[in-house]
C-alpha cells in the first residue's frame, strides 16, 4: 500500500490504492468509544451561539455540526455537491432538538463565501463560531501527485483554491464577528500532513502547513477583537458509515490503522470533541495553537497506510 494519498488522514473523497492487509483487528464504526461532544450535557457549552461549518455534509464536517448543535449552538451547514448529506446533517440536528439550516456554496469562490456568511447572519442574526473544514478545488482520480509530475493547474486546484478558501472564509467570518462585537472563535481543520512528508503529498501537505501557519497570524491579528483562532490536525479518521461504504481498499486502510497506529483509527467525533473545546469558553485563553488529534500516528515510524 502506497503512503502517497491524503485520504487516510482526514477522510477525503478520493480513492486510495490497494494492497494486502496486515493483521486484522475488529473495528467499530460511526462514533468513538466513551463520552463524545454529541452526548447530552445539561450545561451546554455553546448555548446562544451561532456556528457556521463548511463542508458539513459528511465525515468530519457533519460530526462537527451535530456536536456544535448538541452543545446548544444554532448551526448553519455549508455543502457543495452533496445535498443529500447536508439534509442528513440537518435531520440529525433537528431530531435531537437543535436548530439548523443549510446553504450550498463553493468555497473556492470568494463571492459565494461572502454570500454564505451573509445568509447565516440573515437566518440566525449573528456568527460566533466559524469552522473551516471544506477543501475547495478539484483532485481528479488517477492524477499523479509526485513533485515532478505536478502541473500549474494542479497547484491552482489543490493548493491555491483550498488555501484561498481558508483565508477568505476566515477573513469574512472575522469581519462579521468584529462588526457585531462580542468576539468569536475560528477553527481551521488541517492535517498531520502539515508535519511530515509522505510520497506524492507535496501539494496537500504544503497547503495544510500553510493553513496552520495562517492560523497563527489570524490569532495574533484578531486577538484585540476577542476572536480566537486555532487549528486541528487530524490523523487517520474513518468516515465510513458502515464497512464497504467506500470500497475494499478503504476498508484495508482501516484494518491496518488498527495495527500500525498506537491508538488505532480515529472517527469524526474525535475531531468534533476538539472543535467543541476550541469553540467554547473552555479555551478562552487558547489561541494560535494546532492540536494534533492523531492517536499517536506521528510517534511511530512512517506508516504505510
204 carries an active-site annotation = yes
- Within 10 angstroms of residue 38's Cβ, the number of other Cβ atoms is 21
Residue linked to cell 455537491? 81
**101 torsion bin: left (phi>0), alpha (psi -120 to 50), beta (else):** beta
- CB of 233 closer than 8 Å to CB of 301: no
- CB of 203 closer than 8 Å to CB of 159: yes
Catalytic residue, chosen from 130, 163, 167, 204, is 204
- CB of 45 closer than 8 Å to CB of 281: yes
Inter-residue long-range contacts of 150-159, CB under 8 Å, 24+ positions, other chains counted: 150/202, 150/203, 154/203, 155/203, 158/203, 158/204, 158/207, 159/203, 159/206, 159/207, 159/210
- CB of 289 closer than 8 Å to CB of 54: no
Residues with a known catalytic role: 204
Amino acid at each position: 500500500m502506497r503512503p502517497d494519498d491524503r485520504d487516510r488522514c482526514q477522510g477525503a473523497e478520493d480513492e486510495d490504492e490497494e494492497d494486502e492487509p496486515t493483521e486484522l483487528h475488529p473495528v467499530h464504526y460511526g462514533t468513538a468509544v466513551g463520552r463524545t461532544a454529541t452526548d447530552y450535557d445539561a450545561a451546554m457549552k455553546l448555548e446562544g451561539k451561532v456556528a457556521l461549518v463548511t463542508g458539513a455534509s459528511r465525515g468530519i464536517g457533519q460530526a462537527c455540526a451535530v456536536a456544535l448543535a448538541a452543545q446548544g449552538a444554532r448551526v448553519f451547514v455549508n455543502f457543495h455537491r452533496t445535498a443529500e448529506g447536508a439534509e442528513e446533517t440537518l435531520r440529525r440536528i433537528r431530531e435531537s432538538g437543535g436548530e439548523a439550516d443549510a446553504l450550498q456554496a463553493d468555497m473556492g469562490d470568494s463571492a459565494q463565501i461572502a454570500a454564505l456568511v451573509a445568509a447565516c447572519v440573515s437566518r440566525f442574526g449573528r456568527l460566533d463560531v466559524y469552522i473551516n473544514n471544506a477543501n475547495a478545488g478539484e483532485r481528479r482520480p488517477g492524477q499523479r501527485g509526485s513533485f515532478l509530475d505536478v502541473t500549474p493547474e494542479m497547484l491552482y486546484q489543490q493548493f491555491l483554491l483550498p488555501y484561498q478558501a481558508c483565508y477568505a472564509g476566515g477573513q469574512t467570518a472575522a469581519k462579521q464577528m468584529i462588526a457585531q462585537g462580542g468576539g468569536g472563535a475560528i477553527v481551521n481543520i488541517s492535517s498531520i500532513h502539515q508535519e511530515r512528508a509522505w510520497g506524492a503529498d507535496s501539494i496537500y501537505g504544503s497547503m495544510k502547513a500553510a493553513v496552520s501557519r495562517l492560523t497563527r497570524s489570524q490569532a495574533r491579528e484578531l486577538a484585540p477583537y476577542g476572536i480566537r483562532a486555532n487549528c486541528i490536525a487530524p490523523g487517520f479518521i474513518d468516515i465510513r458509515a458502515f464497512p464497504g461504504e467506500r470500497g475494499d481498499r478503504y476498508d484495508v486502510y482501516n484494518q491496518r490503522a488498527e495495527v500500525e497506529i498506537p491508538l488505532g483509527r480515529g472517527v469524526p467525533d474525535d475531531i468534533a470533541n476538539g472543535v467543541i473545546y476550541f469553540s467554547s469558553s473552555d479555551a478562552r485563553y487558547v489561541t494560535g495553537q494546532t492540536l494534533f488529534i492523531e492517536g499517536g500516528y506521528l510517534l511511530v515510524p512512517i506508516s504505510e497506510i
